[in-house]
Structure 1
Amino acid sequence: MIAPFTRSEFRQRQEAVRAQLAELGLDACLITSPENIYYLTGLDHMGYFAYQMLVVPARGDPVLITREMEKAVVRDMAPGVRHIGYPDGSPAGGDRQVPIAKGAETLEPWPAPLKAAPEAIPPSIPVTRDTLAGIGLERGRLGMEKAGSFFPITVAEGIQQSLSEAEFVDASGLVDAFRIRQSDHELECTREAARVSDAMMLAAIAAAGVGVSKRDVMAAIYSEMCRRGGTYPGFVPLVRATTTLEHEHGTWQDYRLAEGDLLFLEMAGCVRRYHAPMGRLVYIGEAPPEAESINAICLDAAHAAADAIHPGVSAGDVYNAWQAVLDDSGLESYRRHHCGYSVGIGYPPSWSGSGVPVALRAGSSLKLEVGMVLHLMSWLLRSPLGDAFISDTVVVTESGCEFLTGVPCEVTVRR
């Protein structure tokens, strides 16, 4: 079992962020992305559906603002931060607060009850305002993750209006820039996630066949995921057949696989929130005549992209290497929006972090670095020569790249 990250590791990550704050002339960074909060504190829960914010000041301890009810998980998972809770209602039962006895332990009652009626101003806003003012940031220059998917506009605007003397600047991507390179300890998690991915994929392939429900394929995936030590991934496994093949982010339905179907499988094992996605196609009943040739092109393109991966190489050059194989194979007109993207810490609804992925796109000047983990994709969907799909997780190394997932890539038929 992989050892959890230590408090010293989280402190090192926080210090790296503070150094960046000093370079940018910021007094603090306001972080709402669950991936970044986990990266800096270790808080791993699903309560991020409601507003939460990690305040990392240039000096002093970080402060985490969440709903009051999250105090136990913050206490247990993020002991290195100061927790500030905001109320959002009380349980049924009126105003009486009765301690709940549990054996020799007495559980604390809820804090002072609130009426369930909607508030004109969400309580998270004044609590955040008072917290920032309490640590001397009411007139500070504050970096805010404006591009985050979990930062409600009402709260963001309310905070800025209530701190009219502070300066708010966009700090989206500040923490992500550190996360994009994984440490050796993080890579241990990703390697374990890759082993879970392989097991999930093999279980899906073994379950498939003529007359098999896509629900049963998905059940095999989840069963293997749990048995192998994985946890819930940031993105649900994708199980599609011929009629829904072009539904880019669709997944299983109540449908039984039929002779001649093409089964699309894409999934990621997840260990300590680190992901290792992979994808394969499976022919049901029999493979069409072009299956071997189009699969060979797809595989050659994947290998060309992998061979192009080295520290210092641009993401655009990797895409060009992938596209060159297609062009040489008579597929000059076929284009994809990318041939891969960065992966790592992820929470639903994404295994690549919130927002559009950092990708291997045509024209991208992003320079690859040692420790970057990529979901490398070679996908020929509805191409003039047929359909093929191969994707794997790789890591950039000093000498090139290393494949972490490894289910065989040959044409697969399930009857």
Structure 2
Amino acid sequence: MNHDAYRHALSRTLAGSECPFPASEFQRRRAAVGAAMREQSLDGLLLTDPSDIFYLTGYTTFEVSVHTALVFTPERLVLQVPSIETGPAVACTQVDDILGYRWEGLEEVLGPLADALAAAGRRIGIDSWHGSLRYGVIQGLMDRLPTHRFEDAGEVMAGARIVKTASELDCLAESARITAVGIESAAAAIRPGVTDSEIAAIGARALHGSGSEFMSMQPIVTAGQRSSIIHTNHQRHRIAEGEPVFLEFGAAFKRYTAPMMRTVVAGEPTDEMHSVFATIRAMYDTLLDAMRPAHRFDDAARAAERVMAPIADDVFFSGVHGYAVGAQFPPSWVEGSGFIARGQMRCFESGMVFHLPLCLRLPGRWGIGCSDTVRVTENGGVPITNNAWTLTGSGGL
């Protein structure tokens, strides 16, 4: 049978059977997005970010490299997927129509998609900065719909997603529980002579064994000098005596990720390591106090920068004190809807959730990081994850 026949056969017994949330949750989300659209006088949205599509429909797959699109209006949702994604489109979603195209038949994409957009209206919002929106698709649609206006509307989805519902907070709490199991298992295995890859394997086994789905980023483990290089990962390197081992894990539960960082020294931490760690802890406490409704992201970042100032010339820090997290797909668990950083003038709201990736790196020597995923409340930031916030030597575990 072809993909159309497969879709109809599946629909008879499995339509919506793996949808992650009840209809009421999706109705609330769609209403919020619809309201944001009306504020920008948009008739519809063309969404290609897998996490945006998931947010409004429940669509879940491990294959996010192929073209997939959602045409959204408050009245109708039309999902376009390649033939190999027919199963997830049927089983995981609540949509009004599914448009299939042959995986290898890219010439089948534009016509049906243009028809769906023509029915939606003439002012269409797109996320022009997201890599999932292919040039060939948007150019082809503009050629076919010359009277349509495609307007950047990335803030429509970002604004709707950044404040989490109770259901989303439950998913993040479960991710946090699983993340902690992975971090604890990996930390307990750290000692001189073990490789970073072995530590990553132990952590990954614990994450999956405790219920994590396929993760948006795999466990991150680096040691010693390599930990001073931002965004390196395990590579069969043997851990030496006295080296700090940096861990960053994030389990996925219904695609929601609550990440956490920890550093364990294979031996005994030096006084300098303790001093850097103390700065990180002070930055963290400052951020928790600043993460209150009506306070700006910029204000929180500047407060943390003042804490780091005495050592700022000696360490590398990314400049982002926090980023919003929620439901994501590979290659990243960063939601992208908000950043606690200098120049970001949005204000905190209760229910926002951020990972605070506080890692300070001494170039060519080592890096130390520690973090929690934190929810914004009326009284400041409250951690969802349960990091121990100690710089421990492996001899003390």
1:51, distance to aligned residue in structure 2 (A): 0.7
In the TM superposition, what is the alpha-carbon distance from 1:361 to its structure 2 partner? Answer: 0.8
Question: Where does residue 296 of structure 2 map in the other structure?
Answer: 314
Counterpart of 1:116 in structure 2 is none
Paired residue secondary structure (1:360): strand
1:212 aligned counterpart, secondary structure:
coil
In 2, the alpha carbon distance for the partners of 1:215 and 1:385 equals 20
Unmatched 5+ stretches in structure 2 = 1-18
Opposite residue 401 of structure 1, the aligned amino acid is G
> Is 1:187 the counterpart of 2:169 in the alignment?
yes
Q: Which residue of 1 is the match for residue 13 of structure 2? A: none
1:193 touches 1:269 (CA, 8 Å); kept in 2? yes
Superposed, which structure 2 residues align to 1:248-259 within 5 Å?
A: 248-259=230-241
Whether 1:131 aligns to 2:146 is: no
Is 1:375 matched with 2:375? no
Task: Describe how 1:15-414 pairs up with structure 2 within 5 A.
Answer: 15-58=31-74, 60-89=75-104, 122-133=107-118, 135=119, 137=121, 140-327=122-309, 330-331=310-311, 333=313, 336=317, 337-353=319-335, 358-382=338-362, 387-414=367-394
Residue deviations 1:324-361, cap 9 Å, x none?
Answer: 2223xx325357312111111111011013xx673111
Deviation at 1:122, TM superposition (A): 3.0
What is the CA–CA distance in structure 2 between the aligned matches of 1:83 and 1:376, rounded to whole Å? 38
The whole-number CA distance in structure 2 between the counterparts of 1:375 and 1:14 is 25
For 1:407, what is the secondary structure of its paired residue?
coil
Superposition CA RMSD, Å: 2.1
- Following superposition, which runs of at least 4 residues in structure 1 exceed 6 angstroms of deviation? 383-386
Structure 1 pair 294–144 and aligned structure 2 pair: CA distance change class (3 A):
closer
Percentage identity across paired residues of the two chains: 29
SS of residue paired to 1:62: strand
Shift of 1:383: 7.9
Q: Are the equivalent residues in 2 in contact too, given 1:380–1:389 (CA < 8 A)?
A: yes
Shift of 1:387: 4.8
Shift of 1:273: 0.8
Aligned to 1:142, the other structure's residue is in SS state strand
| Counterpart in the other structure of 2:6 | none
CA deviations over 1:100-123 (Å, ceiling 9, x no partner): xxxxxxxxxxxxxxxxxxx7x732
Which of 66-75 and 184-193 deviates more? Answer: 66-75
TM value normalised by structure 1: 0.85
TM-score by length of 2: 0.89
Q: In structure 1, what is the Cα distance between the partners aligned to 2:39 and 2:271?
A: 59
Shift of 1:316: 1.2
Change (3 A) 1:61 1:357: closer
8 Å CA contact retained: 1:201, 1:407: no
* Greater C-alpha Rg: 1
- Kindly tell me the number of residue pairs found equivalent between the two proteins: 375
Amino acid at match of 1:128: L
- Where structure 1 has 5 or more consecutive residues not aligned to the other structure, the ranges are 90-118
More helix per residue: 2
Moved more, 241-250 or 23-32: 241-250
What displacement does 1:124 show? 1.1
The residue identity in structure 1 corresponding to 2:244 is L
